[in-house]
Amino acid sequence: MSAYKAPLRDFQFLINELVDFEAIAKLPGYEEAPDVADAVLEEAGNFASNVLDPLNVVGDREGAKYANEAVTTPKGFKDAYHQFAGAGWVGLPMPVEYGGQGLPWIISTATLEMWNASNLGFSLGPLLNQGAIEAILLCGTDEQKALYVPNLVSGQWTGTMDLTEPQAGSDLAQVRTKAVPQDDGTYKLSGQKIYITYGEHDYTENIIHLTLGRTPTAPEGVKGISLFITPKYLVNADGSLGERNDIYCAGIEHKLGIHASPTTTMNYGEKTGGATAYLVGKENEGLKYMFIMMNAARFSVGGKVMRSPIVPIKRRSPTRASACSPRISRPKSGRPCASSSIPTCGAC
């Protein structure tokens, strides 16, 4: 039974009365946002109520399971993820040129709040993915953007943030993961990361880890940290998947709460001496790039904190899983009608 009902009127009030949405809509690319905002929020509310909320209790009771370097998510989560990605929710605020919906973050933030409120364990995966996309978009080469971003935006792959180590939590100056440059321009990474959210899972064929490491000549402290792209499966130049990289999950944390979200320990280079990795930006400037991901995570975690008072507002009778999607048609004039343009659940 779904207990979650999105507070759409509150979101509409915030967007239309408190935020200067008109000014946002004047920014290049956002001109049509006011026409679709209400319909997108309504669709998000339906997805949260009909797909994510009923799985919340399953995720809590069943939890993610670890065995043989693999993680199995709770029953129904993989399917929900594919509905989520297929409906275009992963790329809602991401650039259209990379396959995103190109909508302003103010709308995406409202949807994020709905994912958080209806199923926190589920919502943590897409959260970290968004930070990884932003870091590659802002600091990656054109080649890296073309190779990784479209599949992260579509949700075909997921991205992670691999910072924390057993001796390096708040104090990233202590990061020890070794990154040894190779003749071909790649790096070999060895070390261990802990507490990596969705570092391993069964949703997608590939996982793109954004990893902090230190080259042999790097200065001590935070001025010697570099950021690397470390794919679970190497990606060939034509975009196809190559060999399995030497980054494996060694276990997941047993936590109070968010049981559905795998918080993983990741071993780099244990089998072959080094996981193949690609430098993002310049050596020793990784802390700066890391803050792109960290700020995205902080922003979204703030949304998670707000979720608690909003959760079970009203009991609803169970409804079937919906195909609710943010892909609203954008007419040149007039307001779009979600129900006329896309498949929706019965409540749309």
Ligand X SMILES: Cc1cc2nc3c(=O)[nH]c(=O)nc-3n(C[C@H](O)[C@H](O)[C@H](O)COP(=O)(O)OP(=O)(O)OC[C@H]3O[C@@H](n4cnc5c(N)ncnc54)[C@H](O)[C@@H]3O)c2cc1C
Task: For residues 235 and 233, give the distance between their C-alpha atoms in angstroms, rounded to a whole number.
Answer: 6
Q: Give the per-residue SS3 of 292-304.
A: HHHHHHHHHHHHH
Sign for the CA dihedral angle at 189, 190, 195, 197 comes to positive
Segment interacting with ligand X, rule: CB under 6 A, options 15-23, 54-62, 156-164, 175-183: 156-164
Could you tell me the smallest distance in angstroms from the CB atom of residue 287 to ligand X? 13
User: How many residues sit in the footprint of ligand X (CB under 6 A)?
Assistant: 12
Contact between residue 225 and residue 294 where contact means Cβ atoms under 8 Å apart: no
Site mask for ligand X (CB under 6 A), range 260-299, x = bound: ---x------------------------------------
Residue 236: strand pairing partners: none
Q: Cα(38)–Cα(44) distance, rounded to whole angstroms? A: 10
170 vs 240, beta carbon nearer ligand X: 170
What letter represents residue 177's amino acid? T
Q: Does 164 interact with ligand X (rule: CB under 6 A)?
A: yes
What is the C-alpha to C-alpha distance for residues 160 and 127, in angstroms, rounded to an integer? 9
* 302 is an interface residue for ligand X by CB under 6 A: no
How many angstroms separate the CA atoms of 9 and 172, rounded? 42
Residues 188-227 as x/- pattern, contact with ligand X by CB under 6 A:
-------xxx------------------------------
Which window, 6-14, 76-84, 105-113, 159-167, contacts ligand X (CB under 6 A)? Answer: 159-167
Which residues within the stretch 99-138 sit at the binding site for ligand X (CB under 6 A)? 128
Structure tokens at 296: 């995205």
Supply the minimum distance, in Å, between the C-beta of residue 29 and ligand X. 30
Q: Which residue number, 104 or 262, has a Cβ lying nearer to ligand X?
A: 262
Quick one: which segment of 54-62, 166-174, 278-286, 333-341 binds ligand X (CB under 6 A)? 166-174
Tallying the residues shown for the chain, one arrives at 348
Residue with tokens 């004047």: 26
List the one residue from 161, 207, 279, 342 that touches ligand X (CB under 6 A). 161
Describe the crossing of helices 33-47 and 105-118 by its angle, rounded to 10 degrees. 10
Kindly state whether residue 139 participates in binding ligand X, applying the rule CB under 6 A: no
Ranges assigned E (strand) in 221-262: 226-231, 233-235, 241-244, 247-252
Judged by beta carbon, residue 55 or residue 207, the one nearer ligand X is 207
163, 225, 292, 324: residue in contact with ligand X (rule CB under 6 A): 163
Asked whether the beta carbons of 13 and 62 are under 8 A apart, the reply is no
Q: How far is the CB of 209 from ligand X (least distance, A)?
A: 10
Q: In this complex, which beta carbon is closest to ligand X, that of residue 52 or of residue 163?
A: 163
Rounded CA separation 233/180 (Å): 19
Point out which span in 1-9, 54-62, 65-73, 167-175 binds ligand X (CB under 6 A): 167-175
Decide whether 145 or 304 has the Cβ nearer to ligand X.
304
The interface region with ligand X, picked from 169-177, 178-186, 299-307, 317-325 by CB under 6 A, is 169-177
Return the range that interacts with ligand X (CB under 6 A); candidates 9-17, 18-26, 160-168, 333-341. Answer: 160-168
The residue within the footprint of ligand X, chosen from 38, 42, 134, 162 (CB under 6 A), is 162
Q: Which is nearer to ligand X, 69 or 171 (CB)?
A: 171
- For residues 258 and 199, what is the distance between their CA atoms, to the nearest angstrom? 15
Burial class (CB in 10 A: 0-12, 13-18, 19+), 124: buried
Name which of 54, 39, 17, 55 is nearest 339 in CA terms: 39
- Among 84, 106, 104, smallest CA distance to 96 is for 104
Positions touching ligand X (CB under 6 A) are: 128, 161-164, 169-171, 195-197, 263
